[in-house]
Amino acid sequence: MFYRRKFYIVKNEFVEVFNEHFNNTNLHNQQKHGARLIGRWMKENDDHTTEIFAIWEYDSYEDFKEIESNVRNDKAHVKRVQDWYQRHGGKETVFKEYILEVRNEEIKSTVE
């Protein structure tokens, strides 16, 4: 199995918009192409930001790469994401003003 953690630091005023985007746009498309969501959580920080992260499971690293390629090549999905950015001032604005940090990391189990 291959696991990844997708991690964001988001300004509090954008959390609801961001979570709605995940639930209505990204989640379905990931699952449609074979990604399995273990869970998605958030934790408010003391600096008017919120940490949001999801744990995803794949059968292997190769499956992860194939699924990500399929997600990124899904033209209807790409259009929905581009439209979402435009509604919020454009991708550059979203990452400058609202989403302050993004990490996409492999995580490994410590349980044998």
Q: Is residue 49 part of a domain?
A: yes
Q: Is residue 111 part of a domain?
A: no
Residue 112 clears pLDDT 90, i.e. is over it = no
Note the pLDDT of residue 33.
Answer: 95
**pLDDT band, residue 8 (cuts 50/70/90):** very high
pTM for the predicted model, two decimal places: 0.88
Q: Is residue 112 part of a domain?
A: no
Number of compact structural domains in the chain:
1
For residue 61, give the CATH number of its domain.
3.30.70.100
Per-residue pLDDT of 11-62, as tens digits, reads 999 999 999 999 999 999 999 999 999 999 999 999 999 999 999 999 999 9
Measure Cα distances from 87 to 30, 90, 91 in Å: 22, 7, 10
The residue range of the domain holding 9 is 2-106
Tell me the pLDDT of the chain averaged across its residues.
96
Q: Is residue 79 part of a domain?
A: yes
Classified as helix, coil or strand, 59 is: coil
